[in-house]
Amino acid sequence: METLSTNKAHDGVQGVYRHASLATGTEMTFSVYVPPHPAGAKLPVLWYLSGLTCTHANVTDKGEYRRACAERGVIFIAPDTSPRGEGVPNDDAYDFGQGAGFYVDATEAPWASHFRMRSYIEQELPELIAAEFPADMTRQGITGHSMGGHGALTIALRNPDRFRSVSAFAPIVAPSVVPWGEKALAGYLGADRTAWHPYDACALILDGARVGELLVDVGDADQFLHDQLRPELLRAACDAAGIPLTLRVQPGYDHSYYFISTFLTDHVAWHAERLTA
């Protein structure tokens, strides 16, 4: 692991790091905020998965989470959204290819050789975090925005014993039935829609996956709310499955980091209550 930068913030350390990933076959960059803590202490971990076009830098620069993490003693990890670099396939559209990995393990050419973000987020990066940082991997939470909200929900639903808490900002809750998701899942996984189920939160719930509870924030001024996000489908799936869902529709907020930064401290506190109990 190579350290690209470190900065002191709220008496903790905000770092940006790079390593050679076996899962993606590329170098991957991620950021980690480690709050102040006693020597030898192990701290709970909150993962943040970013949305379309983003890297680790968007939330690191705009998220305004560090004070809350320092006060609550929570490590905050922000991976990239896809493999990148020379030789990595790409697409001219913003919603497919580099910057748009959708947290899947692709099976279709040419994407299958590098686009293995599920394996990277679920297996490889956690092993690196456990080895290099003072992380208590028995106390993990996960959140994310938009495509990253989709990632957070599906990863938690597939790994309910690993994550004590899961939340999301403006998540794509049913990618199998919205334009962003249909394009990405067909391109990465092929035309067989049954292969899409592990990457669709509503489908996972309907197939029997469960988590203890969910917190979701959306803005009622989000331009993608009705055609891409469809939070009402998550409400229906959770109601049918008996999963407690706190779905907060925030008046006047859009899809941007103005929205995320306003409520990210709430989410950090919500996760911390569940990770430190």
Per-residue model confidence as pLDDT tens digits over 212-269: 999 999 999 999 999 999 999 999 999 999 999 999 999 999 999 999 999 999 999 9
222 assigned to active site: yes
Tell whether pTM > 0.85: yes
146 tagged catalytic: yes
Amino acid at 38: P
Helix (H) or strand (E) holding 108, with range, is none
pLDDT at site 147: 98
**Stretch 147-159: mean pLDDT:** 98
How far apart CA 200 and CA 15 sit, in angstroms, is 32
Which of 114, 145, 150, 255 is the catalytic position? 255
Torsion sign across C-alpha atoms 129, 130, 135, 138? positive
Q: pLDDT by residue (tens digit) across 3-35?
A: 999 999 999 999 999 999 999 999 999 999 999
Closest by Cα among 146, 125, 126, 150 to 28: 125
Q: What is the layout of strands, in order, in the sheet containing 12-20? A: 2-9, 12-20, 27-34, 75-79, 43-49, 135-144, 163-169, 214-219, 245-250
Report d(CA 144, CA 155) in Å as an integer. Answer: 11
For residue 242, CA distances in Å to 2, 146, 165, 206, 265 come to 45, 24, 16, 11, 27
As a whole number, mean pLDDT of residues 61-75 equals 98
The CATH number of 2-276, from 2.40.10.220, 3.40.30.10, 3.40.50.1820, 3.40.50.720, is: 3.40.50.1820
Query: What percent of the chain clears pLDDT 70, i.e. is strictly above it?
Result: 100
- The residue from 82, 146, 165, 167 that is catalytic is 146
Cis peptide before 171 (omega within 30 of 0): no
As a whole number, mean pLDDT of residues 76-89 equals 97
Average model confidence (pLDDT) across the chain: 98
Task: Using alpha carbons, select from 19, 39, 49, 46 the residue that is nearest to residue 124.
Answer: 19
| pLDDT greater than 80 at residue 186 | yes
255 belongs to the catalytic site: yes
Tokens of 184: 């990405």
The confidence band for 277, taking pLDDT boundaries of 50, 70 and 90, is confident
| pLDDT exceeds cutoff 90 at 207 | yes
Give the burial class of 107: count Cβ atoms within 10 A of its Cβ; 0-12 exposed, 13-18 middle, 19 or more buried.
middle
Domain ranges of the chain: 2-276
45: β partners: 75, 140
Quote the radius of gyration of the chain (alpha carbons, Å): 17
